[in-house]
Chains A and B, each alone.
Chain A
Amino acid sequence: MLRYFLTRLAGAVPTLFVIVTIAFFLIRAAPGGPFDQEQTLPPEIMANLQSAYGLDLPIWNQYGRYLGALVHGDFGPSFKYKDFSVTELIGQGFPVTLELGSIAMALALILGIPIGTFAALNHNRVADYATMSLAVVGIAIPSFVVLPFLGLAFGIYLRWLPVAGWEPGSIRHLVLPVVALALPPLSVIARLTRANMLEVLRSHFIRTAFAKGLPLHTVILRHALRPTLLPVASYLAPAVASIMTGSLVVESIAGLPGIGRYMVQGALNRDYTLVLGMVIIYSTLLILMGLVVDLLYAWLDPRVRLVR
């Protein structure tokens, strides 16, 4: 198991390298540069800036220097947030984003799986239709609509929770953003769980379990749940991606100091190093999630062998 884990981690390095390379040249291919402003700078100042950041060097040279620094864990300086390195920016914001994202993910799983199971057990009845209609709403309405609506309802009218803002360690400030962020993956997980649970409940081994005279909850929890969760596990990686992109919007609406805003602003500002740093963080997370999914698969279905 440990060996499998380590080989998979080592296998992630070339993947990351390819991603970094593609991202490096793609962002350079975008027109404009980090120091372009509405008023063009005098050529001498521009030249000074370019050489200070090494942008006057041939692009292969820049690429080599970037990779060299990266190997030592240095993401380089931010072009836009002067006096900050990309490592510092991400280091400050990432814990907030991680907290927001992981609570949202946990919420989506903890609520989505039981809701889906409940709907499956009430197949073609009112409870089934009601929850699944709500789930469609949850998938269809984007978080930038849900969050202001929640803020209006719970922040301004009911005054239960803050509309926006952030205090370190404050749970109350996280509630609305987490709900807005968790809603789409929660809905998808509920629908996936329902569909698969219905499928599994029709299988022969479930018939055997009922024939053995086991009570319903034992049949569901011991016999039906694990095979039901296989497709849900496959959805985890896309769910993490959806939560990450969702957090770009949610963080800026709720005024949370996460790293979501850097992705958009960095790209708009041609803040090359910041964008690359974000790409590395996000792709590492996704690769790790893929590994987690594979390990989950092996646990959910003993016929899956982890061989490498």
Chain B
Amino acid sequence: MTPLLSIEEVSVSFSQHKRSIAAVRQVSLAVAARECVGIVGESGSGKTQVFMAVMGLLAANARADGSVRFEGHDILATAPEHLNRVRGSKLTMIFQDPMTSLTPHLKIGTQLAEVLVCHAGKSWSEARIAARRMLERVRVPEPIRRLNQYPHELSGGLRQRVMIGMSLLCDPMLVIADEPTTALDVTVQAQIIELLRAMREEVGTALVLISHDLAVVAGLADRILVMYAGRIVESATAVELFRHAQHPYTAELLKCIPSLSSPRLERLPTLAGQPPQPGDSLPGCMFAPRCSRAAERCRVERPLLAPTVGIARHVACHYPLPP
């Protein structure tokens, strides 16, 4: 069975001052229908840029290589007119900051309805009715009043609900959620995660959840990919990853999650050193300078994403942590 989305050897680089800076290096991954894949990594690990390339939303000075297939069609090389057949309808995206991601001078109703007018060929009045129903589905109170309000009249949580509703209007096959809860209050975060879970069960769409927060991803994702310095370093099911991380970086990340049961006044572990700057290149493993297990081989030979135990389990490390 062909996966819904398959990303093969995708690299993204930005040209700046005549220099090319690599942000994503030969990333390959696949998302099956109805699957939820979590992408975890620090800022600058390239996790967002991979999916910006998928959506055709890279900045003007960026360049993407490789191949992205959605339902079997290559969408990386196509012109925007062709991409627009799936973009926004079958393939949608939710962004990090709901404060700035909605057009400030257009009413909520217009911003929702235009998706259906554009993709489903509905009239504005039909589309507005569908928009109202969608607001009910994403649990926005007083949907009729909200349709006539502007984004600044809504709270952050409500705006993110609107964004989620907007992404679901055309019954998408795949929704990409880029840090959907990062800009929100903690209590609202939980509500939004809950909403995403409910929507996934209701609609049956595949979901890519991009986050720097392992806890956010843990509750939703079937499978988690860990990215570091533009590459995927570990891939495992959520359960396996939390039970036993094989890549030292993943293990360190897991240690950094504060626990309510740990003794008080204990210092929260942090990862020593700095992540490599975008564009930095090392001959060996990019994590070697920060890795306690690094040996000479790690500095000269780049570890490839090698299958270890089981099918879904991959790790890019010469000396993975033993079980």
Contacts and interface: CB of A to CB of B under 8 A. Distances in A.
Partners in one complex: yes
Interface of A: 123, 203-205, 207-216, 218, 222-223, 226-227, 300-303
Contact of A214 (B85, B88, B93, B163): B88
Nearest to B55: A211
Contacts of B56: 210
A207 B88 CA distance: 12
Contact of B101 (A207, A216, A226, A302): A207
A189 B163 CA distance: 34
B124 interface: no
B134 interface: no
A303 B103 CA distance: 12
A95 B164 CA distance: 56
Contacts of B55: 211
Contacts of A215: 81, 84, 118
Given A213-B84, A213-B87, A300 B105 contact: yes
A173 to B, nearest CB: 41
Interface of B: 55-57, 60, 80-81, 83-89, 92-93, 95, 97, 100-106, 114-115, 118-119, 150, 152, 163, 166
15 contacts: A204-B97, A205-B102, A207-B57, A208-B163, A211-B87, A211-B93, A213-B115, A222-B103, A222-B106, A222-B114, A227-B104, A300-B105, A302-B105, A302-B150, A303-B150
Contacts of B80: 210, 216
Nearest to B119: A213
A204 B95 contact: yes
B72 to A, nearest CB: 19
A3 to B, nearest CB: 22
Contacts of A303: 104, 150, 152
Given A218-B118, A302-B150, A211 B92 contact: yes
A212 B80 CA distance: 12
A216 to B, nearest CB: 7
B80 to A, nearest CB: 7
Given A204-B97, A208-B103, A214-B114, A123 B88 contact: no
B88 A301 contact: no
A216 B81 CA distance: 9
Contacts of B100: 203-205
B102 to A, nearest CB: 6
A214 B106 CA distance: 15
Given A204-B97, A211-B55, A303-B152, A226 B118 contact: no
Contacts of B89: 213
Nearest to B61: A124
Given A212-B118, A213-B89, A205 B60 contact: no
Given A207-B57, A214-B118, 6 more contacts: A207-B101, A213-B88, A214-B84, A214-B114, A223-B103, A303-B104
A218 B81 CA distance: 13
A204 B183 CA distance: 14
A203 B103 CA distance: 9
A227 to B, nearest CB: 7
Nearest to A124: B60
